[in-house]
Structure 1
Amino acid sequence: MLASGFFYILPRPDVNQSRHTLLDVIRGAAVLGILLMNIRLFSEPYAAYFSPLMLSAQSSLGHLWWQLQHLLADQKFMAIFSMLFGASTALICDKRIQAGQPPYGYYLRRQLILLAFGLVHAYLIWHGDILVYYAVCGVIPLLFVRAPAGLMLLCGLAILAVGSINSLTTFAALKQLPEHILFDVITQHFAHSALISQAELDAFSGSWFEQLAMRAQLAREFHLSTFPAWGVFRVSGLMLIGLALYRFGFISGHLSRRFYGYFALCTISAGITMSLAGLWFNHQQQWLFPDYFFKHTLWNYWGSVLTACGYMALLAYISLRGWLSRLRGYLSLVGRMALSNYLLQSLLCSVWFYGLGFYANTGAAGAILTIATVWMIQLGLSKWWLMHYPSGPAELLWRTLSGR
């Protein structure tokens, strides 16, 4: 087997095989699940990701859908991807070391190619790209690949904590401002959000060149502002946690069914409860800035990690039980060409929302229908493709450009 980040490449597959690797199943579930949140960035202005008050159409169904997305999906599937990327660092390095080949040059070449993929994706297709984050942060687990698993876990949690400390420090600094200055900051925040949202509405409803300019502006913000303030700590920390969980045997399904069952029950319950607490505080304060943006978001920042681990444990439990074998088979195929499927989601949604004019004109029901349609396409296409080709097209290109 050849592992490639959370994008996992196998030899020429037998789509009728009855036994599917847990890593592929988890990866497939994650690449489908991440669309539950990405659909909001595809279909709405950026500000609507953080507050339901910024949704283009205000409705009871829209608010309910926003809350369900937040509780069940927000940051959860991205966390799974990040942890799987860390786990795959071990797979790549272990394989090359066992073959008597140095892993570092090959791994870094892969990261450079992934960075190129991410930049093209972010600036030409969709600004919500995560590949650039993974390409840069993927160097961190490489530094720890031979460290004890306990040290990996502690360092991962410590790096995660830095991200939350940054948010709390910013919140405390804003709260120390004189009341009249803080009021001006709050007013400017909402005015700026409304202005940017309108600019997004105009651009993504306009020509391709207008969309390209707005996409570049948002991508630069993600890379130069969001990444150093939040993304680098979030993604790097989760990669180390994933590396540790792989060394512990958690991600590879080497623990007992009873453990996975109890662990899934406890962590999913605790994680969703934490996310629900943050949601409740925000509703109580009517999404007041800076509270909702810097303080209450931390409930989900940490709760999503627990929920993500619980989701992986649940899939391990189901796999070890032998349940849902047909569904696991399809998820495994999606996971085996996850990079291709991730990019395909962007292409399909970009055509739908930006090309055909459904941006900010879909609503909750339309978003759910779009997700279901994309899922059906990806499930069917993954099976067809892997019946004829050894790996996904993006995976094949990545492997070819990375060399040996």
Structure 2
Amino acid sequence: MSNLSTLAPTPPATRIHAIDAVRGLALLGIFTVNIQSFAEPFGRFILPHPGPNESALDAAGFYVVKAFCESKFYPLFSMLFGMGMALQWQRAREAGRPFFGTGVRRQLVLLAIGLSHAVLLWYGDVLFLYSIAGMILLPLLRAGPRTLLMVGGAVLMVTVVLTTGLGVLMALSPQPGDSTPTEFPRYDDPFGAFLKGFEGKEMEQGPSSPLWLGTETQAYREGPYDQVLKFRLVSWAMMLVFSSLSFGWHLLSMFCFGAALLKLGIFSPEGARLRRRLLLIGLLIGLPLSVFAVALPALGKPGMIAAGPLTILAGPLLSLAYLTGIAILAERGRALWLTRSLSNVGRLALTNYLLQSIIATTIFYYYGFGLFGQTTRSERLVFVLAVFLAQVGFSAAWLRLFSFGPAEWLWRSATYLRLQAFRRAAETSASP
């Protein structure tokens, strides 16, 4: 049985700050993508092209986010998660501490947080899936970087095959019409009307069907909570199905790649050459392929089918450019204002991720300002930037007083089965 008195989280002084900085950047990119699903019905969020009623500015925003953010920042965040797990395993081994039991508890606590987040706030939660993929990665952490790269590559190929099959199914499914309604009839029971729509042909276009769009929009915009909860659970179930067919496999492959890169010393002084190589690969291969993948759906159904697997491959390559670019800036002491700001946000990654959900749902859902389905894409991108800048200020102020964010404190305390020192004063007084 493990001695719990020897178990402790990583102290701030031994953190790899480049990882925190990249994690902060990933949170900005993820929120840039996620904001669409906070503010719009599921059927609009999954459209492979801008809405027919969008302005040129909004259409440009769609393509910029598609090319440089979508399927780039969740692979980046996932690689960082794998790196974090590998780093914890290495430090536990060096200290002669058991790790597996702690690692299992850590993932179980994350699973509980993710489940609560998905059910109570937002269906797009990734924490639930991270915990499952993390459980799978745990026994693989003993492997060397070559084995981890091979496992990650094999899982990535499975993802490509599944994504291609999913693309074929979507291409063969009825496509949304040329016009998307913006005004809908009102329903006494939106979810009841939603279920009744499956009895006829009103749901042939799936989430993009006018009835689905209308009932979901009314529920999120006007409430009450039970209506929102029912639609959220439907969307979450669809996300879980999609994850089993593609997204979840991609996460696991990125976990493996991240753990391998950490073991290869990507953040060590000896890893400078590796960082430069990965930066070039990301810029010279990942960037053009990502842009090309966004253009492919314009070629019709064959392009739609090809875009999915190409994005699965190109996205992580561009992610590596983001990762190594920030790491090189941190290594050379350049743009310190940027790397320090991002690092503060990244140190509170779980808190800031959950805060983004709380703030966004307050703005767009009925219990706040009720702006669901009423904002433009460009307005939402301005909102994302404003929220992130606020999080930069909040994170810096918080870390002057506290060692962890509130969500991190809860996660660590539950993992290590004892309350962690929260205030910096308590942390300092406890130091030898």
TM-score range, shorter chain: 0.7 to 0.9
| 2:88 aligned residue (89, 92, 99) | 92
Contact 1:47 1:54 in 2 (8 A): no
The percentage of aligned residue pairs carrying the same residue is 29
Aligned residue for 1:6?
Answer: none
Aligned ranges for residues 27-176 of structure 1 at < 5 Å? 27-51=23-47, 53=49, 55=51, 57-171=53-167
Instruction: Return the alpha-carbon distance in structure 2 between the equivalents of residues 63 and 249 of structure 1.
Output: 41
Contact 1:115 1:131 in 2 (8 A): yes
C-alpha RMSD over aligned residues: 2.5
- 1:365 deviates by 2.5
Instruction: Return the alpha-carbon distance in structure 2 between the equivalents of residues 105 and 277 of structure 1.
Output: 45
- 1:46 deviates by 2.2
Aligned ranges for residues 339-354 of structure 1 at < 5 Å? 339-354=350-365
| 1:215 aligned residue (208, 232, 235) | 232
| 1:366 aligned residue (379, 399, 409) | 379
Aligned residue for 1:270?
Answer: 285
Aligned residue for 2:399?
Answer: 386
More displaced 10-residue stretch of structure 1: 55-64 or 388-397: 55-64
Contact 1:10 1:391 in 2 (8 A): no
Contact 2:166 2:245 in 1 (8 A): no
- 1:283 deviates by 1.5
Instruction: Return the alpha-carbon distance in structure 2 between the equivalents of residues 191 and 27 of structure 1.
Output: 35
**Partner SS, residue 222 of structure 2:** coil
Instruction: Return the alpha-carbon distance in structure 2 between the equivalents of residues 191 and 138 of structure 1.
Output: 32
Contact 2:155 2:250 in 1 (8 A): yes
- 1:378 deviates by 0.4
Aligned residue for 2:193?
Answer: none
Contact 1:20 1:332 in 2 (8 A): no
Which amino acid is 1:240 matched to? C
Aligned residue for 1:231?
Answer: 247
Residues 201 and 183 (structure 1), Cα distance of their counterparts in 2 relative to 1, 3 Å cut: closer
Residues 252 and 201 (structure 1), Cα distance of their counterparts in 2 relative to 1, 3 Å cut: farther
Contact 2:148 2:259 in 1 (8 A): yes
Contact 2:287 2:314 in 1 (8 A): yes
Deviations 1:112-133 (A, max 9, x none): 1000000110010111100011
Instruction: Return the alpha-carbon distance in structure 1 between the equivalents of residues 33 and 47 of structure 2.
Output: 13
Report the TM-score, using the length of structure 2 for normalisation.
0.81
- 1:311 deviates by 0.7
Contact 2:161 2:309 in 1 (8 A): no
Instruction: Return the alpha-carbon distance in structure 1 between the equivalents of residues 312 and 34 of structure 2.
Output: 17
Aligned ranges for residues 197-346 of structure 1 at < 5 Å? 197-209=213-225, 210-223=227-240, 225-252=241-268, 254-256=270-272, 259-285=274-300, 288=301, 292=304, 294-346=305-357
Contact 2:296 2:306 in 1 (8 A): no
- 1:28 deviates by 1.2
- 1:51 deviates by 2.4
Contact 1:22 1:252 in 2 (8 A): no
Instruction: Return the alpha-carbon distance in structure 1 between the equivalents of residues 35 and 112 of structure 2.
Output: 24
Contact 2:50 2:59 in 1 (8 A): no
Residues 52 and 62 (structure 1), Cα distance of their counterparts in 2 relative to 1, 3 Å cut: farther
- 1:201 deviates by 1.5
Instruction: Return the alpha-carbon distance in structure 1 between the equivalents of residues 247 and 71 of structure 2.
Output: 11
Instruction: Return the alpha-carbon distance in structure 1 between the equivalents of residues 262 and 77 of structure 2.
Output: 13
Which amino acid is 1:238 matched to? M
Aligned residue for 2:11?
Answer: 11
Instruction: Return the alpha-carbon distance in structure 1 between the equivalents of residues 342 and 268 of structure 2.
Output: 16
More displaced 10-residue stretch of structure 1: 367-376 or 263-272: 263-272
Deviations 1:303-330 (A, max 9, x none): 1010001111111121122110111111
More displaced 10-residue stretch of structure 1: 92-101 or 388-397: 92-101
Residues 283 and 112 (structure 1), Cα distance of their counterparts in 2 relative to 1, 3 Å cut: same
Aligned residue for 2:198?
Answer: none
**Partner SS, residue 333 of structure 1:** helix
More displaced 10-residue stretch of structure 1: 124-133 or 212-221: 212-221
Instruction: Return the alpha-carbon distance in structure 1 between the equivalents of residues 170 and 62 of structure 2.
Output: 27
Which amino acid is 2:28 matched to? L
Which amino acid is 1:127 matched to? Y
Instruction: Return the alpha-carbon distance in structure 2 between the equivalents of residues 185 and 335 of structure 1.
Output: 39
Which amino acid is 2:324 matched to? A
Instruction: Return the alpha-carbon distance in structure 2 between the equivalents of residues 96 and 170 of structure 1.
Output: 41
Which amino acid is 1:113 matched to? V
| 1:190 aligned residue (195, 199, 205) | 205
Greater relative contact order (Cα 8 A, min sep 6): structure 1 or 2? 1
- 1:265 deviates by 3.4
Aligned residue for 1:3?
Answer: none
Which amino acid is 1:203 matched to? A
Contact 1:162 1:233 in 2 (8 A): yes
Contact 1:83 1:239 in 2 (8 A): yes
**Partner SS, residue 142 of structure 2:** coil
Contact 1:23 1:252 in 2 (8 A): no
Contact 1:12 1:389 in 2 (8 A): no
Aligned residue for 2:200?
Answer: none
